[in-house]
Amino acid sequence: MGHSACGKGWTGSAAYVDAVLGSTLIAAACLAILQFALLKLHGDCSAYAVKKHMFIVVTLGIVNAVRVITGYFPESKGKLPSGIAPFDARAISWQRGADLKDGTQYAMVLRTPEIDQKCSERFAESRVHMTTEPSCLKQ
């Protein structure tokens, strides 16, 4: 089954993530039980191996619990953590192919002899890059 076939039938990425996390948790729990059974019945593995599996079971359990709990808080939907800005209209237009230099105060570009000649006013520069006004780049 290819990657594209795995995604068929899922209505959204959140449901897919929940299904993957839930399946991973179940698989890890089954492996922990199997390791524990082998340890107790046959002495074939170590207590450390059981602890490793239980660590991933607890970790995945916490991740799943957080996803389920936060789904019940409508005020958490659509909000971003502080310091993360949503895409504004300009960023979306850039993604759709608009010129990155339009509407910007400064542009950071790779230095070339041509740009060095065209753009005499520089606000910052290094051996490789320089920051200048976009208008000189359009000349």
Q: What would the pLDDT profile of 60-96 be if each residue is shown by its tens digit?
A: 999 988 888 877 776 655 565 555 566 677 777 777 7
Q: What is the pLDDT of residue 57?
A: 93
How many CA atoms lie less than 13 Å away from 123 in the CB half-sphere? Answer: 10
Within its chain, how far is the Cα of 18 from the centroid?
A: 16
Check whether residue 66 and residue 126 sit in a common domain.
no
Q: Which domain range does residue 118 map to?
A: 89-137
Q: What is the pLDDT of residue 22?
A: 87
| Better pLDDT: 53 or 105 | 53
Check whether residue 70 and residue 93 sit in a common domain.
no
**Both tokens assigned to 112:** 């070339």
Check whether residue 104 and residue 66 sit in a common domain.
no
Check whether residue 117 and residue 64 sit in a common domain.
no
**Both tokens assigned to 20:** 């993957």
Overall average pLDDT of the 18-46 stretch: 89
Check whether residue 99 and residue 64 sit in a common domain.
no
The pLDDT of residue 112 is above 50: yes
Check whether residue 40 and residue 100 sit in a common domain.
no
Q: What is the pLDDT of residue 10?
A: 42
Domain-embedded: residue 33 = yes
Question: Cα(135)–Cα(139) distance, rounded to whole angstroms?
Answer: 7
Weakest mean pLDDT among 18-22, 93-97, 105-109, 124-128: 93-97
**Both tokens assigned to 5:** 């076939």
Confidence class for position 29, pLDDT limits 50, 70, 90: very high
Q: What is the pLDDT of residue 46?
A: 85
Q: What is the pLDDT of residue 16?
A: 77
Overall average pLDDT of the 100-123 stretch: 82
- Residue ranges of the alpha helices (H) in the chain? 3-6, 13-41, 47-70, 89-95, 113-118, 134-137
